[in-house]
């Protein structure tokens, strides 16, 4: 069974650093992009970025570029999302998901959806 297991809830202060994780199992972890999605309570879901564990290729939503850093460790099948200096506005639930890209006319396209998600990590940033 394909699973993504995310790290537990975090409570941090503004200015703190943080690294949350997403461990994959049941599939070849390095061969699939992992995406990150933010859900601020009461607001919609926002795509943050995607990361390819095999060669560290990545793509950030411009809204999150420079605000967070994605990474992965192939040896432990784990993807990470990190902040160097948290803000209160980073308070949200963060989901990871396995990306399925569309193969069309013999070429991998730029379109993907998530076929498996983690349960989410609640990050609370408060002084």
DSSP tag of 68: B
> Going residue by residue from 87 to 126, which x/- string records binding to another protein, judged by CB under 8 A?
--------x-x--x-x-x-----xxxxxxxxxxx------
Decide: is 83 part of the binding site for another protein (CB under 8 A): no
Among 8, 41, 44, 66, binds another protein (CB under 8 A): 44
Question: Could you tell me which residues are beta bridge partners of residue 69?
Answer: 82
> Going residue by residue from 53 to 72, which x/- string records binding to another protein, judged by CB under 8 A?
--------x-----------
The closest of 103, 98, 86 to 30, measured between CA atoms, is 98
H or E stretch covering 48: strand 45-51
Decide: is 127 part of the binding site for another protein (CB under 8 A): no
C-alpha angle 77/81/85, rounded to 5°?
150
Structure tokens at 53: 């564990």
Decide: is 10 part of the binding site for another protein (CB under 8 A): no
Interacting residues with another protein (CB under 8 A): 4, 37, 43-47, 61, 95, 97, 100, 102, 104, 110-120
């Amino acid at each position: 069974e394909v699973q993504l297991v995310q790290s537990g809830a975090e409570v941090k202060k503004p200015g703190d650093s943080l690294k949350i994780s997403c461990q994959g199992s049941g599939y070849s972890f390095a061969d699939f992009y992992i995406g990150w999605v933010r859900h601020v309570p009461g607001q919609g879901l926002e795509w943050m970025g995607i990361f390819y564990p095999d060669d560290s290729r990545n793509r950030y939503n411009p809204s999150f570029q420079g605000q967070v850093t994605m990474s992965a460790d192939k040896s432990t099948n784990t993807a990470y999302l990190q902040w160097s200096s948290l803000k209160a506005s980073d308070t949200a639930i963060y989901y990871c998901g396995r990306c399925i890209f569309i193969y069309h006319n013999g070429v991998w396209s730029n379109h993907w959806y998530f076929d498996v998600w983690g349960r989410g990590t609640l990050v609370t940033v408060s002084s």
